[in-house]
């Protein structure tokens, strides 16, 4: 199996306090998870793992559980304290979150006999996140379309950042001039946003984005005034 995903998990017994902690941690941990997936090289074989769950906090049993039939492996570590983490500066929280991912992965690679080449590619993905300042802007192709005239184009751009994903819809003429820009999503998480940005289409000079159920998520009329 090819390695595709990694997730930080605040381990421990279910409680209202744990739920509150998880809501707080999500804005940091989901961001580095998304960024890592963006920068991860396709097709890497990491000891047969498709997803690595990193469980932070007190635990029982072995430190590492190899991948199951779905390719999901678990790595456990005790060096996380929620109160110490929450006391860090914002930038330090980003760095600490990424360090949990990188050091856990490299430990698993070392103990599982993963090649030095693959380990290097994983480190390069982490370094790319640092160099971009824990943010990334990416074109969302599913809802980016040329107008039938080819004189203008709608582009959906996703801004991955601490706290969630912002989405912008831009209209650009054939010369690259921006005709309009609209913020269509704010501080969303990918597990819900992907379903809202399902399909984009033009209806004359109106651009629509529909969700996976066919309902209209965004409708911008006279979107390309000035392009013709």
Q: How far, CA to CA in Å, does 62 sit from each of 73, 76, 77, 154, 197?
A: 12, 8, 10, 51, 40
Predicted pLDDT of residue 208:
97
The CA-CA-CA angle for residues 183, 158, 88, to 5°, reads: 100
Predicted pLDDT of residue 223:
66
pTM: 0.92
**Do the strands 64-65 and 5-10 form a parallel or antiparallel pair, or are they unpaired?**
unpaired
- Which residues, other chains included, contact 132 with Cβ-Cβ below 8 Å and sequence gap of 6+? 35
- 192 beta partners: none
Encode the chain (228 residues) as per-residue pLDDT tens digits: 899 999 999 987 778 888 899 999 999 999 999 999 999 999 999 999 999 999 998 888 889 999 999 999 999 999 999 999 999 999 999 999 999 999 999 999 999 999 999 999 999 999 999 999 999 999 999 999 999 999 899 999 999 999 999 999 999 998 999 999 999 999 999 989 999 999 999 999 999 999 999 999 999 987 666 555
Q: Which residues of 203-215 are buried (b: 16+ CB within 10 A; e: fewer)?
A: eebebbbbbeeee
Predicted pLDDT of residue 227:
55
Residue spans per domain, the chain: 5-131, 136-220
69 alpha carbon, distance to own chain's centre: 25
**Calpha distance 6→70 (Å, rounded):** 14
């Amino acid at each position: 199996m090819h390695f595709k995903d990694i997730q930080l998990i605040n381990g421990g017994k279910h409680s209202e306090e744990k739920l509150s902690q998880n809501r707080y941690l999500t804005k940091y941990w989901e961001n580095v998870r998304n960024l890592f997936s963006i920068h991860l090289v396709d097709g890497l074989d990491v000891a047969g793992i498709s997803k690595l769950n990193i469980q932070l906090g007190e635990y029982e049993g072995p430190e590492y559980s190899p991948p199951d039939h779905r390719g999901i492996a678990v790595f456990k570590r005790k060096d996380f304290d929620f109160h110490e983490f929450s006391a860090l500066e914002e930038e330090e929280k980003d760095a600490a979150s990424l360090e949990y991912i990188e050091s856990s992965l490299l430990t698993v690679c070392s103990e599982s006999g993963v090649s030095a080449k693959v380990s290097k590619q994983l480190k390069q993905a982490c370094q790319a996140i640092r160099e971009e300042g824990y943010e990334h802007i990416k074109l969302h192709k599913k809802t980016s379309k040329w107008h039938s005239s080819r004189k203008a184009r709608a582009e959906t751009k996703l801004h991955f950042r601490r706290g969630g994903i912002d989405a912008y819809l831009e209209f650009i003429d054939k010369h690259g001039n921006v005709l309009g820009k609209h913020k269509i999503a704010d501080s969303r998480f990918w597990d819900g946003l992907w379903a809202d940005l399902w399909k984009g289409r033009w209806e004359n000079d109106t651009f629509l984005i529909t969700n996976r159920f066919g309902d209209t998520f965004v409708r911008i009329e006279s979107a390309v005034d000035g392009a013709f």
